[in-house]
Amino acid sequence: MSLNTQILIAAVLGVLFGFLLTLFPQSTFFDVGLYGIGIASSLFIGLLKMILIPLIFTSIVVGVSNLQAGGQLSRTWKITLLCCVTTTSLALILGLTCAHLFNVGRGVDVVMFQDAMAQHQTPDTLTPSSFFTNFIQNTLINPFKAFADGNVLAVVIFALFIGVALVAGGDSFRTVRKLSHQFFDIMMLMIGWIMKLAPIGIFALLAKLIATEDISVLSRLAEFAAVVTGTTIFHGIVVLPLLLWIFGKMNPLTFFKGTRSALITAFATSSSSATMPISLKCAQENLGVRPQTAGFVIPLGTQLNMDGTALYEAAAALFIANLMGLDLTLGQQLVVCATAMIASLGAPGIPSAGMVTMIMVLQSVGLPAEAIAILLPIDRLLDTVRTVVNVQGDMMISVVVDRHTREPEVPV
């Protein structure tokens, strides 16, 4: 049985087992079951996390250092950046439009959320200007500290520097380049081993999600959740495939077939970073993206390109404004879009990261940061779908970039 089939079966069984657990709350069966799936999911996630930093580092170094002569480096950069900004902007527009269309949050009694609001602890204030300062302070740091702290963005920046230096040094750095290639190959071999555990990890993660989510709390926010989920799925199955078809000349069905295991892992882990090793493998092995393109675009995209997160943050800001009875002006909505784009860039690819950077979006138009408490009960649920689209966007961009850098005559 192929790994893809095993993952699919495990996902279905995980959901069923999660529901089974909810039928026996406060029983030994529930406790033992939850403990078991807790261990299994931590094992899988732990292994993925363990490999993440060395993998990101080597894949970016290898990716950038492979982009030799012919201005290919700048071409790849430009196309990647253009794709990221375009897809994120479309996601933002879609998020705001659908939130307007369905009038999310209008007519809901805010009093019913007062409990949640009272319990919420406001994190440190995050304004756009302090966001930039923090961004610089946290990324341009001692690389050894970044490695030790697992500061992915700082590792990405340092790896980019080394990659560019290897390109600039040309043949004189041949040995280091070869070493990085070999180190990267070792990482890929280890990912292959870890992936053998994916069906167990995904079974456990989905069962845990179903068994621990509070259904009665979720129902209060059902309308907003449905709109955001529907819009995110629309972005994932209509907008992105259309762009892929037009600019990447790839049949969307081929894409979905080849990326299934990465998409399901994204759904189950709610983490683009944890999924990155699998996205990389899918892009290279199933979509035919050259290793130098995949090794450059996917780790960067994992950090910086988050369509699902941007869409969610824009729609959520409008939802909160509607709950408070505020009408955002067009100018304020543009500020929401710009801030949501920066917030999605700054959100690391871990579960609920978008919830933290969401504060910045709310504050940009004077909405209280405390209002995120309203969204907390449904965040884990929405995170699953937005992470899938985040991951999908990265793999899709890698296909488009690969095509346009492989054939220099194709106009961009």
Query: Which residues contact ligand ASP by CB under 6 A?
Result: 270-272, 306, 309, 347, 349-354, 383, 386-387, 390
For tokens 């621990």, the residue is 212
Burial class (CB in 10 A: 0-12, 13-18, 19+), 121: exposed
| Distinct helix (H) and strand (E) counts, the chain | 19, 0
Nearer to ligand ASP, 283 or 306 (CB): 306
Q: Please state the closest distance from residue 325 (CB atom) to ligand ASP, in A.
A: 27
Nearer to ligand ASP, 363 or 387 (CB): 387
Q: Which residue is nearest to ligand ASP (CB)?
A: 354
* Cβ neighbours of 50 (radius 10 Å): 12
Token pair belonging to 66: 């492979």
Q: Please state the closest distance from residue 345 (CB atom) to ligand ASP, in A.
A: 11
Task: Check residue 125 and report its DSSP letter.
Answer: P
- In the Cβ-directed half-sphere of 76, how many Cα atoms lie within 13 Å? 28
Nearer to ligand ASP, 167 or 205 (CB): 205
Q: What value, to the nearest 5°, has the Cα angle with vertex 167 and ends 304 and 135?
A: 30
Kindly give, in sequence order, each residue whose CB lies less than 8 Å from that of residue 43, ignoring residues fewer than 6 positions away: 197, 201
Q: Please state the closest distance from residue 157 (CB atom) to ligand ASP, in A.
A: 19
Nearer to ligand ASP, 105 or 348 (CB): 348
Nearer to ligand ASP, 91 or 166 (CB): 91
Q: Please state the closest distance from residue 390 (CB atom) to ligand ASP, in A.
A: 4
Phi, psi of 56 (to 5 degrees): -60, -45
**Distance (Å, rounded) from C-alpha 287 to C-alpha 250?**
9
Q: Please state the closest distance from residue 50 (CB atom) to ligand ASP, in A.
A: 17
Q: Please state the closest distance from residue 386 (CB atom) to ligand ASP, in A.
A: 5
**Distance (Å, rounded) from C-alpha 221 to C-alpha 2?**
38
Q: Please state the closest distance from residue 347 (CB atom) to ligand ASP, in A.
A: 5
Q: Please state the closest distance from residue 315 (CB atom) to ligand ASP, in A.
A: 13
**Distance (Å, rounded) from C-alpha 89 to C-alpha 84?**
8
Task: Check residue 310 and report its DSSP letter.
Answer: H
Q: Please state the closest distance from residue 154 (CB atom) to ligand ASP, in A.
A: 18
**Distance (Å, rounded) from C-alpha 355 to C-alpha 37?**
25
- In the Cβ-directed half-sphere of 299, how many Cα atoms lie within 13 Å? 29
CB 226 within 8 A of CB 319: no
Q: Which amino acid is at 90?
A: L
Nearer to ligand ASP, 269 or 293 (CB): 269
Nearer to ligand ASP, 96 or 311 (CB): 311
Token pair belonging to 326: 């505020």
Nearer to ligand ASP, 48 or 353 (CB): 353
CB 58 within 8 A of CB 183: yes
* Cβ neighbours of 140 (radius 10 Å): 11
Nearer to ligand ASP, 55 or 73 (CB): 55
Q: Please state the closest distance from residue 379 (CB atom) to ligand ASP, in A.
A: 8
Helix axes 152-169, 28-66, angle to 10 degrees: 20
Nearer to ligand ASP, 166 or 228 (CB): 228
